[in-house]
Amino acid sequence: MRYLLIDRIHEWKAGEKIRGVKNIAMSEDFLEFHFPGRPVMPGVLLIEAFVQLTGWLEAASSDFKNWFLMTAVHQCKFHGFVFPGDQVELEIHPLPESGPDRRIYSGIGKVGGKKKVTVEFGGELIAFEDLEDRDEQRKFFRVLTREG
């Protein structure tokens, strides 16, 4: 099974930042057992949403030559739960410690303007073509950004 956890990309600037959203629908299968009778978005999937958004930043910034592969979470803090019906606004920025092949990012997730999660994570770049068809993913990126 594959979870696509970014529903829309609102803004991006090559190598500098990206902003997107994850809509939490009651129909998401992971909510059935997390937790029965009180569905909450799993924190690890929120982190995965940040990582996927970072992948899109790296892909778009490199003409779809690179993708981001997370290797470490340096710190993560949750400031409240994310529930069905919420729209999580995600924002990612590279940190100055990033290098040519190694990246470190910080992210913040908000619901209704209220901070819900902050995260700092690192990873490496891998060849995009080793994962996906570049042309198909360019088309999907245009859908996410509403660019044509």
Give me the residue spans of the domains in the chain.
Answer: 8-140
Banded pLDDT at 1 (limits 50, 70, 90): low
CATH number of this structure's domain 8-140, picked from the four choices 1.10.8.420, 3.40.50.970, 3.40.50.300, 3.10.129.10: 3.10.129.10
Of 2-6, 15-19, 57-61, 117-121, least confident by mean pLDDT is: 2-6
As a whole-number percent, the residues of the chain with pLDDT over 90 amount to 87
pTM of the model: 0.95
CA distance 116 to 99: 29
Looking at the annotation, which residues are catalytic? 34
Q: What is the C-alpha to C-alpha distance for residues 105 and 16, in angstroms, rounded to an integer?
A: 10
Q: What are 109-134's pLDDT values in tens digits? A: 999 999 999 999 999 999 999 999 99
Say if residue 92's pLDDT is above 80. yes
